[in-house]
Amino acid sequence: MRDVALLSLLLVAIAIGYGLGYRQFGRRRHLTQSPTPSSQTLSKEYFVGLNYLLNEQPDEAINTFINVLAVNSDTVDTHIALGKLFRARGEADKAVSIHQNLLARPALSQRTNEQIHLELARDFMALGVHDRAQRLLNTVLEHSGDDEHRYAAKQLLVDLLEREKAWQQALEVIQPLFKQHPKLRRPAAHWLCELAIEAIHEASRPIAKKHLKKALQLDEKCVRATLLLAEMEVDNGHYGRAIERLDHIPRQEIAHIPTMLPALKHAYLRNDDEAGYAAHLYRLLEQAPYTSIIIALGQLVQQRDGVDKAIELIGEHLRAAPSLGGLDYLIDLYIESQRLNGKPSPDTRLLLLKHHTDALMLNRTRHRCRHCGFASDALQWQCPSCRYWGTIKPVIGVEGE
């Protein structure tokens, strides 16, 4: 990360050197003219800053470059780049100083001023000063006629409102953008899910249901909305409707079958339909041989037909779709079988295998973000790392499902 920052600063230094050289060249009227004291000072300070940079003293280098570079239409982009560099290094307060200094210059164009407003809003967001960032963004939205700047301001404003969990306000800002930017429908669907959860906590179930149906209109593949609707149906005693809703999830996102299994089991068992639950699991197994489905079937067979039948079932399916979780469950079944057959203590080889699978299971990743790779034990609907919605899913493969 430090190497990247130094490389970025080096590029800025090159830009500054080019700008200074170009400006001094423009000032020379004759090839034989002697350099002015001002130009000598500028060159000296520039090379002092470059020396700091090459000696890995970026703070001193940045301060020198700021001092050497006057603010004008030729250098404003370089000042903005320096501010971005400060913000990227976690020094947003210094970025604020640079960008506020730029705003104090009356000679800059409206487009440049809007660009600085956006950068300053990013600075304040990085510092957590959301009210000041919001005022800057609203200023751009109220006065700018530049579509690019307006879209950037809306994106930043939505990001800010999302961080403050102002879901309804975020929806109002983003709604006009759906036609041109359909990818924004996914986060909006999750904000509606958040509003639905708030409504459920406030005992406003009809409003919650309305939010969830709207979420599915925005994003028909929103597993979270379907899952919440199914849970509401179970709470209302409509178990058949809940099962129908859950049956849509494999078509929405097959990787989320493990996510829906607890709700599916709850609905069938509350409906006193164990046979229907088993049949549904077999149908799911045909779609995806996930470990969670295999284990759920094994538990049903163990209760109904005994541990040895469960061992036979699990062993058969693990041959086709081996997994660490399945192996761990199979070892448990063998240990239980020996106990039921009167063996005072399990085979030491089984205990050794169980010890190893327990250790591996403890350290395995259960969920992973498909966008940035963030690993999580529990399912989270928004990735804490990249902040994308709906990208964390159960891990598939030998160590996962």
How far is the first Cα of the chain from the last one, in angstroms, to the nearest whole number?
Answer: 34
The per-residue pLDDT for range 158-214, each reduced to its tens digit, is 999 999 999 999 999 999 999 999 999 999 999 999 999 999 999 999 999 999 999
Range name among 255-259, 277-281, 362-366 with the lowest pLDDT average: 362-366
Residue type, 299: Q
**Could you give the CA distance from residue 128 to residue 122 in angstroms, rounded to a whole number?**
10
Q: Which residue has the higher pLDDT, 38 or 179?
A: 179
Instruction: At 299, list the tokens.
Output: 């538990």
Residue 19 pLDDT exceeds 60: no
Provide the pLDDT for residue 396. 87
Other CB atoms within 10 A of residue 182 CB: 11
Mean pLDDT of 259-282: 96
Other Cβ atoms within 10 Å of 290 Cβ, number: 24
> Any idea which residue has 């950068």 for tokens?
119
Read off the pLDDT band of 40 (50, 70, 90). very low
What is the reported pLDDT for 71? Answer: 59
The domains of the chain are located at 2-173, 365-401
> Does the pLDDT value for residue 38 go beyond 80?
no
Q: What is the pTM of this model?
A: 0.79
Q: What is the pLDDT of residue 18?
A: 44
Least confident among 21-35, 69-83, 126-140: 21-35
CA-nearest of 200, 269, 196, 207 to 239 is: 269
Q: 385 CB contacts (<8 Å, ≥6 apart)?
A: 369, 372, 374
- What type of residue is 369? C
CATH no. of 2-173: 1.25.40.10
Nearest to 339 by CA among 311, 315, 295, 307: 307
The sign of the dihedral angle between the CA atoms of 274, 279, 284, 290 is: positive
Report residue 57's pLDDT band, with 50, 70 and 90 as the boundaries.
Answer: low
Average pLDDT, the chain: 85
Average pLDDT score over residue span 326-341: 93
Q: Does residue 336 have a pLDDT over 90? A: yes
- In angstroms, the CA 358 to CA 329 distance is 10
Model pLDDT for residues 367-399, shown as the tens digit of each residue: 999 999 999 999 999 999 999 999 999 998 777
Nearest to 361 by CA among 387, 325, 329: 325
The reported pLDDT for the residue numbered 20 is: 44
CA-CA distance, 319 to 90, in Å (whole number)?
Answer: 51
Q: How confident is the model at residue 34 (pLDDT cuts 50, 70, 90)?
A: very low
352: burial class by Cβ within 10 Å (0-12, 13-18, 19+)? exposed
Contact 390, 225 (CB under 8 A): no
CA distance 158 to 136: 13
**What SS3 class is residue 389?**
strand
State the Cα–Cα distance between residues 334 and 320, nearest whole angstrom: 19
Residue 24 pLDDT: 46
Comparison of pLDDT for 277 and 28, the residue scoring more:
277
What CA–CA distances, in Å, run from 176 to 173, 185, 201?
Answer: 7, 11, 29
pLDDT, residue 280, reads 97
Q: In the chain, what's the furthest Cα-to-Cα distance? A: 106
DSSP-assigned states of every residue in 73-102: TTTHHHHHHHHHHHHHTT-HHHHHHHHHHH
Contact by Cβ (8 Å): 394, 256: yes
Rounded CA separation 47/51 (Å) = 6
CA–CA dist 187, 373 (Å, integer)? 19
Q: Residue 239 in contact with residue 267, Cβ under 8 Å?
A: yes
**In terms of DSSP H, where are the helices of 175-204?**
185-201
- pLDDT level of residue 73 (50, 70, 90 thresholds): low
User: pLDDT tens digits for 295-322?
Assistant: 999 999 999 999 999 999 999 999 988 9
pLDDT at residue number 63: 64
**Angle at alpha carbon of residue 291, lines to 287 and 296, rounded to 5°:** 90
The pLDDT value given to residue 11: 44
Alpha-carbon span 216 to 107, nearest angstrom: 50
Q: Residue 55 in contact with residue 64, Cβ under 8 Å?
A: no
> How far from chain centre, in Å, is Cα 312?
41
Q: What sign does the CA torsion over 332, 333, 334, 336 have?
A: positive
- Please, are residues 121 and 130 in contact by the beta-carbon 8 Å criterion? no
Q: What is the pLDDT of residues 213-238, one digit of tens each?
A: 999 999 999 999 999 999 999 999 99
* Residue 148 predicted with pLDDT over 70: yes
In the chain, pLDDT over 90 holds for what percent of residues? 65
